[in-house]
Copies of this chain bind each other. A is one copy, B any other.
């Protein structure tokens, strides 16, 4: 089974959430629509719904990320689940043995859902292949592969402002090569029927044959931003920029940093997005990050609702499934 196939149980319900690639438009819309209903929860006096009461969610972050972990933790707690946070060391990855032993031990404790984050592509898929049918897996980011909940919160945020994807022109700017976020976004935007997706960056930061993902390639920022509705900036991880990938941070900012100047090539009401955390003055100027086009903080807010939606879909309907 592929990662896309394994995501559904025999009744056709979403059971794991590992990749955007291979999902249908209906599934994505279902997640977005349910997330809509959870947006309200964050505004209530009592920000709780009892949907996952008595369930145990494990944040299994082999690659640590306080910020992403916090959003999953809050989402689970607002659904009334119990949450366990773990940052295990990967002692042996040769056969994935240690990872799977860790998972098997946790699942023996009758945990219901794992959010798996790992620096290796395919980690969440590997775990999903080995858990019993009553355990669900969410991919919280796997290597350079996918970060599907991030992409869902991004398209959720876009839909809040631009409900009609068919006329939508989106530019994704920066280090596409290393970005699981970009990969998931491209799949989600294509599935939802965006009119055009552009990727903008130096050739050293673009995957070979990136066009096959269904995007147009630009090396020039101003040409690439021309008349787009959405500008998605990616985080540049300087520690990955060894060798000759970029000339310097300053040079990178000059060419690909989003400034008010460059933003003017996009549509006047273009949305500026970023998965965070932002590097001010590296991939984005502070005045743009905090400016009127920016919806960066809305993305964070929506991230809770989208993760609640995915968790509720995976666990909400499994009441009669566990028969061990």
Query: Which of A's residues lie within 8 Å of B, judged by CB?
Result: 42-48, 53-56, 66-67, 70-71, 73-74, 77-78, 82, 84, 86, 88, 97, 101, 104-106, 108-111, 276-278, 280, 286, 297-298, 300-301, 303-304, 319, 322, 324
Contacts and interface: CB of A to CB of B under 8 A. Distances in A.
A82 B303 CA distance: 18
A10 to B, nearest CB: 20
Nearest to A321: B45
Given A74-B84, A74-B111, 15 more contacts: A45-B319, A46-B53, A47-B55, A48-B53, A48-B54, A56-B74, A70-B106, A97-B286, A101-B277, A105-B300, A108-B297, A108-B300, A109-B300, A109-B301, A109-B303
Contact of A109 (B56, B108, B304, B324): B304
A46 B56 contact: no
A304 B74 contact: no
Nearest to A46: B54
B110 A301 contact: yes
Contact of A88 (B44, B66, B304): B66
Given A280-B97, A304-B109, A86 B104 contact: no
A97 B78 CA distance: 29
Number of copies: 3
A86 to B, nearest CB: 6
Nearest to A77: B82
B43 A54 contact: no
12 contacts: A42-B109, A45-B319, A47-B54, A48-B53, A97-B286, A101-B278, A101-B280, A105-B277, A105-B297, A108-B301, A109-B301, A109-B303
A40 to B, nearest CB: 11
Given A53-B48, A82-B74, A110-B301, A43 B105 contact: no
B300 A47 contact: no
Contacts of A67: 105
A47 B46 CA distance: 20
A298 to B, nearest CB: 7
B66 A110 contact: no
